[in-house]
Amino acid sequence: MGVFNPFMGVAGQGFNDSMATVFLSANTLFCLYIAFDRIRNLMIPQHREWKIRSWALMLAATTTRTMLTVLQATIDIAVLFGTFFWMACVINITASETWINVTRTPGKGTRHWKDADARAATNS
């Protein structure tokens, strides 16, 4: 709906909502395409990373609703919906990239990162 009715909204915020929706949709589809390409080429660690990114972007809508529910008593929700949508995208992308970097599989992905940590702990 944000693409087909781009300038709806309260207080002229429809464009902000629309652009957030377009950004989220385009990037989610891009991440899913890259993940699909990586699994077809048997690049499993990279597939995992792209699936985490797409999952985080898909959860941005839920994060937006959670933020709005928490703050609905203090702010005008209709005016800030697009802004909260952008904030949710940034929060989720940051969290997913942090998780990917913390749990990245070492080497060619034949071992799990926890195995490498356990071996490093016994060697030190």
Q: Is the backbone of residue 9 left (phi > 0), alpha (psi -120 to 50) or beta?
A: left
The structure tokens listed for 124 are 């030190």
**Residue 77 CA: distances (Å) to CA of 17, 49, 82, 101:** 12, 33, 9, 34
Task: For 25-73, write each residue's pLDDT tens digit.
Answer: 899 999 999 999 999 999 888 999 999 999 999 999 899 888 888 887 7
64-88: average pLDDT: 80
In the predicted structure, residue 102 carries a pLDDT above the cut 90 = no
- The mean pLDDT value of the chain amounts to 80
Residue burial 86-104, b: 16+ Cβ < 10 Å; e: rest = bbbbebbeeebeeebeeee
Least confident of 4-13, 28-37, 98-107: 4-13
* Model pLDDT, residue 37: 96
d(CA 16, CA 8): 10
* Model pLDDT, residue 98: 93
Residue 69 CA, distance from chain mean position:
20
